[in-house]
A and B are shown apart, each in its own frame.
Chain A
């Protein structure tokens, strides 16, 4: 076992510029993965992300872990080899409905069938995004796209049912916009020994932005999502007033009350194959979309079985000798053939034209945005009239820091170095959790040892949405603002955001 190291989200953020379209749901999934990984209890060097081709498959670049951006549809194959060769690894396969269910469908099925210890994340947006908007294997029948101008003719694949058919030992579903649920689901997937298949409903803002309507809208989502909990009756709705009942072989939505009670409802059982198939068949909007862990059973993994067979064979026949095995077969020598050079026909213009077509796509029909959306994007953090920062030198004592906070009636100090650059943040939460009653002498203790070093800091010219984003992802109430030299310029709180959104309307 390795020495436990406390990691945080930042440890998993790479230095690569993220190149998804603005507003893409992949960003939310990336943030959730980066936020969850510190909690899975695996050292960073033992985490690997493997992807195929597609928008989602750019994922490994953005993770500060080992990773392979591999061949189209073949991520499960590379991951299979890796997971078997080194069972210590936490291997994550990132794929989409195109990569995983079109070209890579077979590889995906067989990786699942083998119950290899993988975490497979299938981003499902029901469209080909990277190739600019053709229908995918999960698109609903009749979907009109560039490649199906009169509507697609094929039946869509049901990823959950497919995973069931391949006997997946862990199957779950979540959605990009519900970060808390997604984080919990990812954590559960990582803890499962064996294959974990997670379908994530993901919003392609450019080519299929309305696919998950109802499910990704915070105002109504709880009316449309069935949150599954093992052993609990299937109740849903904002006011928990609806449920799922079985009528013969068919599930049906019932309103609680008028003689219908919880006792009439289906109870979720993660070990039931039959129930999992029923849940897989429940399609939104006819039914609420089942989310959470659909199936979780413990079965022998491929690695366990394989290692067992090797042990049995070695017991009977002794440890093998690879050279002897190799030389026991017929051997022959292949001589090199003369290579003739082939002239390249590449003009290099193709990609340029495609980019132009894509820019057209991006420019077409400006979306109608609401007042709130405009405020979040157009107004900058500077418009929040941030408070002047209260700073303290990194060498100051804790006693001084506490006095400073109490004199200014604030709960947050920005810690600076000799050049006045921001090096840390010290809040009243730190006082509660790390100082009071735990530090013997506040006069000799130095703030640098108790602050949070290198805090997230923003520039005042960023949109308000960015401030909310950081507050949401990290759970901060305050955000420091810095200038180009990283000197504190101000501090904004959530209250400032509320005031702004309140005032600007009046």
Chain B
């Protein structure tokens, strides 16, 4: 069974989606960063009313703000990625992962039919799925990889 087959039957909403923070369009970049820091997330979803209009990630912060600090005071709309591609909660996890892989996305907002933001899919969702799917191989490993026992004690 391939990775795709594994994930084909899982809906995105069944994965452990990552957290995000949400701010209103027009907010200053500085406030967006503060919100991300406070919620300890790397992603900020920008909304007008309840509609998703943009996404700001740590990569935008690195490439667009880190060296030009004047940007801290512009509206977040100026540096966000507008109208990000989203998936529905019912999409298959395989399709979502393949989309992320193809487009080199690291975040994929999950938005329901009524525009409600359900979560943010990241690679972490798939890592966590694989860890729980193959606990014997992935999860149940010693805390230090160099400390694998030569001989087991007990069963």
Decide yes or no whether A405 CB sits under 8 A from chain B: yes
Inter-chain contact A129/B155, CB cutoff 8 Å:
yes
CB distance from A483 to the nearest CB of B (A): 14
Contact B142 A18 (CB under 8 A): yes
* Contact status B139-A31, CB under 8 Å: yes
In the complex with contacts A177-B132, A406-B67, A20-B152 CB distance below 8 A: yes
User: B131 to nearest A CB, angstroms?
Assistant: 4
Shortest Cβ distance from A57 into B: residue: B154
Binds B, one of A71-79, A228-236, A461-469: A461-469
Q: Are B149 and A17 in contact (CB under 8 A)?
A: yes
Q: Which A residues touch B42, using CB under 8 A?
A: 429, 432
Asked if residues A28 and B155 are in contact (CB atoms below 8 Å), the reply is no
> B33–A436 contact, CB under 8 A?
yes
Whether the pair A494, B148 counts as a contact (CB closer than 8 A) is no
Residue in B closest to A398 when the chains form the complex, CB atoms: B66
Complex CA–CA separation, A27 to B42 (angstroms): 29
A201 to chain B, nearest CB (A): 12
Q: Is A101 interfacial (CB 8 A cutoff)? A: no
Name A179's contact: one of B58, B132, B141 (CB within 8 Å). Answer: B132
Within 8 A of B (CB), among A162-216: 176-180, 203-207, 216
Q: A18-B149, A372-B3 known; A55 and B61 CB under 8 Å? A: no
Chain A residue with Cβ nearest B72: A437
8 Å CB interface, B114-142 against A: 123-124, 126-142
- Quick one: closest B residue to A370, CB to CB? B1
User: Does B78 belong to the interface (CB within 8 Å)?
Assistant: no
Hey, which chain A residues are within 8 Å of B37, CB to CB?
A: 432-433
Report whether A219 and B3 are in contact in the complex, using a CB–CB cutoff of 8 Å: no
Query: What are the residues of chain B within 8 A of A26 when measuring CB–CB?
Result: 140
Asked whether A27 lies within 8 Å of B1 as measured between CB atoms, the reply is no
Given contacts A21-B152, A217-B133, A472-B131, contact A405 B62 (CB under 8 A): yes
Q: In the assembly, what is the distance between CA of A373 and CA of B63, in Å?
A: 39
Tell me if A58 is interfacial: C-beta within 8 Å of chain B: yes
Q: Is B143 an interface residue (CB 8 A)?
A: yes
A238 near B145 (CB under 8 angstroms)? no
Tell me whether B149 and A472 are in contact (CB under 8 A): no
Smallest CB separation, B68 vs chain A (Å): 10
Is there contact, CB below 8 Å, between B144 and A13?
Answer: yes
Interface contact B135-A28, CB-CB below 8 Å: yes
Interface residues of B in 33-86 (CB under 8 A from A): 33, 36-37, 40, 42, 58-59, 61-63, 65-67, 69, 72
CB distance from A340 to the nearest CB of B (A): 35
Contact of A133 with B62 at beta-carbon distance under 8 Å, contacts A494-B126, A495-B123 already known: no
For the complex formed, measure the closest distance between the CB of B46 and the CB atoms of chain A, giving whole angstroms.
16
Q: Which residues of A contact B148 (CB under 8 A)?
A: 17, 22
Number of A interface residues, CB 8 Å?
Answer: 86
Identity of the chain B residue whose Cβ is nearest the Cβ of A207 in the assembled complex: B155
B2 at the interface (CB under 8 A from A): yes
Mask: chain A, 8-30; 1 = CB below 8 Å from B; 0 = not: 00000100111111111111101
B141 to A498, Cβ gap below 8 A? Answer: no
Q: Which of B1-54 contact A (CB under 8 A)?
A: 1-4, 6, 9-11, 14, 16, 30, 33, 36-37, 40, 42
Q: Given contacts A18-B147, A180-B128, A376-B137, are A432 and B61 in contact (CB under 8 A)? A: yes
Proximity bits, A294-337, B CB within 8 Å = 1, else 0: 00000000000000000000000000000000000000000000
Cβ of B139 and Cβ of A472 under 8 Å apart?
yes
B69 touches A437 (CB 8 A): yes
User: Is A19 in contact with B129, judged by CB distance below 8 angstroms?
Assistant: no
Judge whether A373 and B61 touch: CB under 8 Å: no
Which single residue of chain B is at the shortest CB-CB distance from A176? B135
Q: How far, in angstroms, from A207 to B152 measured CA to CA in the complex?
A: 14
Chain A residues near B61 (CB, 8 Å)?
428, 431-432, 436
Cβ 8 A contact of A358, one of B123, B127, B138, B155: B155
- Residues on A with beta carbons closer than 8 Å to the beta carbon of B147: 16-18
Closest Cβ neighbor of B143 among chain A residues: A13
Q: How far is the CB of B58 from chain A (nearest CB, A)?
A: 4
Spell out A's residues near B (CB within 8 Å): 13, 16-28, 30-31, 34, 54-55, 58, 62, 129-133, 176-180, 203-207, 216-219, 221-222, 238, 355, 358, 361-362, 370-373, 376-377, 399, 402-403, 405-406, 411, 428-429, 431-433, 435-437, 442, 458-459, 462, 465-466, 468-469, 471-472, 475, 477, 494-495, 498-499, 501-502, 505
Please report B residues at the A interface, Cβ cutoff 8 Å.
Answer: 1-4, 6, 9-11, 14, 16, 30, 33, 36-37, 40, 42, 58-59, 61-63, 65-67, 69, 72, 97, 101, 104, 106, 123-124, 126-145, 147-149, 151-155
7 interchain residue pairs of minimum CB distance:
A130-B154, A23-B136, A218-B133, A27-B140, A218-B132, A177-B135, A472-B131
Q: List 12 A-B contacts (CB under 8 A).
A: A19-B153, A19-B154, A27-B139, A27-B140, A55-B155, A402-B66, A406-B63, A428-B59, A494-B126, A495-B101, A498-B97, A505-B4
